[in-house]
Amino acid sequence: MEKTERWRQMAIAPKDGSRILVTIHSAEQGAAEVDLAYWSRSDQFGLEGWRAADSSPGRVVEYAEPELKCWMPMPPVNLNSNLMPSAWEGDDEQQLDGAGI
């Protein structure tokens, strides 16, 4: 993953259906995680919102806006690496987008 790719605020996440990486807030069920998600317009499966279908085959997961902490564009393909970025664990959203530097 290139160093130029950073976690960004959800308010500026693309809502055009493109797939992005998202950090899911930690909860009672476990620590923060990274998932592959996309914005979906309302259809026969539900209202518009953030969905993930790639991480759980055969199951579409819908995320409420407050469940998602931040996002990152999909990193370029590196066939020699099978690594996902770590979930963002910060509390200060000013640090997202490099704004807190």
pLDDT over 70 (residue 10): yes
Confidence band, pLDDT 50/70/90 cuts, at residue 79: low
Range from 16-30, 37-51, 56-70, 80-94 carrying the lowest mean pLDDT: 80-94
Average pLDDT of span 28-38: 86
Domain ranges of the chain: 1-74
Buried-state track 69-91, b at ≥16 Cβ within 10 A, e below 16: bbbbeeeeeeeeeeeeeebbeee
Helix (H) or strand (E) holding 67: none
Tell me the whole-structure pTM to 2 decimals.
0.69
Does residue 66 or residue 87 have the better pLDDT? Answer: 66
11 or 94, higher pLDDT: 11
Residue pair 87/67 in contact by the 8 Å Cβ criterion: no
